[in-house]
Amino acid sequence: MLAEILAGIDHLKERLDRARPLTPAEVQRLREYLLVEWTHHSTALEGNTLDLRETRIVLLDGLTVGGKTLREHLEVLDHREAVEWLEAAVREGQPLSEGLIRELHRLVTRSTLPEEAGRYRRGGVRIAGSRHVPPPAWEVPALVRGMVEEYNRRRGKDHPVALAAWLHWRLAFMHPFADGNGRTARLFY
């Protein structure tokens, strides 16, 4: 089943590649669509109540939405900044590193949790609705370094989507930060 899913993804990628080059307008529309969808769904999973249309208004029109909290607006804006930073890092060929992960987390939480942004948690953490207990805080730095090393060993051997899913799972499993783990992990898709 996984092989079929990955083959379907490869087929869609081939179709996109055949449509290239896209016009600048097409690239802009696609980028805006993906940014809004990615940001909305990632923040909604964490409880943000901005709907898809409202997320678009905040991101693309620079407006606020009445009745929504400042925190919800800031989560959406911080996510956009993290996406833009990650896109630049990929264009520059920056490899996955502990520093890259911490910088993404810093950007995701810079306005809503500035005192913890980019810092590994210093205590225990629970995941709401889950029986999983993440490893103790003192193990986190070594676990993140090990995850990066394993990613680099698997890179080029595993399907890119399977590797991204593994990276997301591994980061979410260890929950290295006090908050913002899910939003940070989803940036690796």
Catalytic residue among 40, 79, 105, 175: 175
Residue 103 CA to residue 4 CA, distance in Å, equals 35
Residue 27 CA to residue 96 CA, distance in Å, equals 26
160-174 and 2-19 are packed helices; what angle lies between their axes, rounded to 10 degrees?
Answer: 120
Residue 100 CA to residue 137 CA, distance in Å, equals 19
Whether 132 is a known active-site residue: answer no
Contact call for residues 188 and 164 (beta carbons, < 8 A): yes
The 10 Å Cβ neighbour count of residue 134 is: 20
Contact call for residues 36 and 55 (beta carbons, < 8 A): yes
Provide the annotated active-site residues: 175
